């Protein structure tokens, strides 16, 4: 059994906390333009015009909500290539930026090339700790150096038109920015697409 209380001092930067509640926001349909908020402001959309979930920013308040990511901090870490654990600069070498992800090498022959990730990159020190302490990563983790990692889209909640003022929530999905469905998505995470990747054995990483 995982002792989550012992993990509190090591709560990742991008983790949500129990007092960071979703903010009131009524999702409406904008004819010909997808979804929006009834009281929308300029801060509700990113530079690509995609609507983002409203969440209070109160890091450290209450208890860590392990498994739930805070949209603002995830977005900041992904855009600035910050370590998702400590918020310092992610590790970067001539071979690329470092990511630590679940090991799915059986998914396709040249995995993880072309993989979309919504986990921010990491620094070497946090990669070592996370591989030992994170319950999900302990099931099988792999470190990756990615030479290419463009921002490609978002993870979020997809809505469909109902022909009325209020659209219908369909469920969660990942969508590229150039997909028309992005206009119908309430984003919660940024996606980057990895390329020119090299898998780095964890024992090799721990020796550096």
CA distance 99 to 208: 15
Structure token pair of residue 130:
């996370």
What burial class does residue 91 get, using C-beta atoms within 10 Å of its C-beta: 0-12 exposed, 13-18 middle, 19+ buried? Answer: buried
- pLDDT tens string, the chain, 208 residues long: the values are 444 444 555 689 999 999 998 888 999 999 888 999 999 999 999 999 999 999 999 898 888 888 889 999 999 999 999 999 999 999 999 999 999 988 888 888 899 999 999 999 999 988 877 666 555 555 668 899 999 999 999 999 999 999 899 999 999 999 999 999 999 999 999 999 999 999 987 777 655 5
Judge whether 102 and 141 are in contact, CB under 8 Å: yes
Q: Confirm whether pTM is higher than 0.85.
A: yes
pLDDT at position 3? 42
pLDDT at position 1? 41
- CA dihedral (44, 48, 53, 55) in degrees, to 10, reads -60
| Structural domain boundaries in the chain | 10-207
pLDDT at position 23? 87
């Amino acid at each position: 059994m995982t002792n989550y209380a012992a993990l509190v001092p090591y709560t990742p930067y991008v983790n949500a906390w129990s007092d960071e509640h979703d903010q009131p926001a009524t999702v409406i349909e904008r004819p010909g333009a997808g979804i929006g908020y009834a009281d929308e402001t300029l801060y509700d959309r990113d530079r690509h015009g995609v609507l983002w979930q409203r969440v209070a920013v109160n890091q450290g308040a209450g208890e860590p909500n392990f498994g739930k990511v805070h949209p603002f901090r995830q977005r900041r870490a992904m855009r600035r290539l910050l370590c998702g654990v400590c918020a310092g600069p992610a590790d970067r070498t001539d071979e690329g930026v470092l990511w630590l992800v679940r090991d799915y090498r059986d998914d396709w022959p040249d995995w993880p090339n072309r993989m979309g990730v919504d986990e921010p990159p990491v620094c070497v020190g946090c990669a070592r700790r996370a591989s030992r302490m994170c319950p999900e990563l302990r099931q099988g983790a792999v470190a990756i150096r990615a030479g290419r990692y463009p921002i490609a889209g978002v993870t979020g909640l997809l809505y469909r038109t109902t022909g009325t003022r209020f659209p219908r929530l369909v469920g969660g999905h990942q969508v590229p920015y150039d997909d028309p469905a992005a206009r119908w998505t309430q984003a919660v995470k940024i996606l980057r697409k990895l390329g020119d990747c090299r898998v780095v054995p964890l024992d090799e990483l721990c020796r550096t």
